Amino acid sequence: MIRAVGRALAIFDAYDNEHLSLSLQEIAERIQMPKTTAFRLVNTLERAGFLVRMDNQRYCLSLKLARLGGLVRSTLNIRDVARPIMLQVNEQVSETITLNAIVGHDRMVLDVVDTPAPLMSMVRPGERMPLLLSASARVLMAYMTPEQLEAALAANVRTPDFDRAAFDREIQRFRRQGYGISRGQRVAGLTAIAVPIFDIHDQVNYCLSLTGPSVRVDPRDHELAEIMMTAGRDISTRLGASPGNSLDLKMLSEDEAAPRSRGRSAARKTGPKAEGAGPRAASAARKRKTAAPVPKAA
């Protein structure tokens, strides 16, 4: 992402239902940007018609954004949004990636991108499973309301030895850390890593899951969890989730600018001037090396 574009878009994320108008200082503080930089970007967005400066010197979003919002395809669905990101993650990790939803008291697989490896988890779109076992199911349950959770448990718990206290601790941990892992919970030998997907209302009705043989997934579980959390936030961003549940556009632009900055810094350190190896310096060095010594006067 181009750094200036990322920073400008981050300004829009400063607004929410509790902050419908903001001063320049408040904008800079909420997105952690220097005030001088925020001033230039706010000025540009105001001139372009995306922000309105009111008489009290506070800024609010303009109706131009409402017009653009009305142009969003009404038929755009979760699969349209998630599919490109699922393909990217699958290419990166080479494991099965699924998109899951709550349907009644079941978990339904909405879409699948299979791993190219011969040893794989077999799952197909439309497949329904009990909403209790696996990381996907428990991540979805972690974001239910208390009433929804009780109804789901009543419909799915079949054994008297179900440890409700341990279950509650697990889903609370999943919610706190932002992802869930299950090992052999639904199918022996399989490990699953699931992350929530937040919609425009910051509700979780979908999750993204990675599933693969434990021998491949377990040694990389922390790395894969980070990749999955980034993917979940990416999809949530495209669904209109609030900044707290989506990608930080400002940080994303700065992260991508960092490698270029490091490259320029390295070039400056190793360039001809830094080494003193320019054409003139090299020529002078050769002359000093080959010049005959001057004999002393007798």
Look up residue 112 and give its two tokens.
């699948």
pLDDT tens, position by position, 208-256: 999 999 999 999 999 999 999 999 999 998 888 887 888 765 555 555 4
DSSP code, position 248: -
In the chain, which residues fall in CATH 3.30.450.40? Answer: 78-245
For the sheet containing 204-213, what is the strand order? 128-130, 106-113, 96-103, 204-213, 190-198, 180-183
For the segment(s) 78-245, the CATH number from 3.30.70.870, 3.30.450.40, 3.30.2000.20, 3.30.465.10 is 3.30.450.40
Q: What is the model's pLDDT at position 270?
A: 43
CA distance 257 to 264: 11
For the chain, residues classed under CATH 1.10.10.10 are 3-72
Instruction: Using alpha carbons, select from 211, 120, 228, 129 the residue that is nearest to residue 174.
Output: 228
Encode 138-168: b = buried (16+ Cβ within 10 Å), e = exposed.
bbbbbbbeeeebeebbeebeeeeeeeeeebe
pLDDT in tens, 16-66: 888 889 999 999 988 888 888 889 999 889 888 888 888 888 999 888 877
Look at residue 280 and tell me whether its pLDDT is greater than 50: no
Decide if pLDDT at 298 tops 50.
no
Q: Which fold has domain 3-72?
A: Arc Repressor Mutant, subunit A (1.10.10)
- Is the confidence at residue 190, as pLDDT, over 70? yes
Distance CA 25, CA 6 (A): 19
The pLDDT assigned to 98 comes to 94
Q: Residues 112, 200: contact at Cβ < 8 Å? A: no
Tell me the average pLDDT across 141-158: 92
| pLDDT of amino acid 31 | 83
Rounded mean pLDDT, 268-294: 42
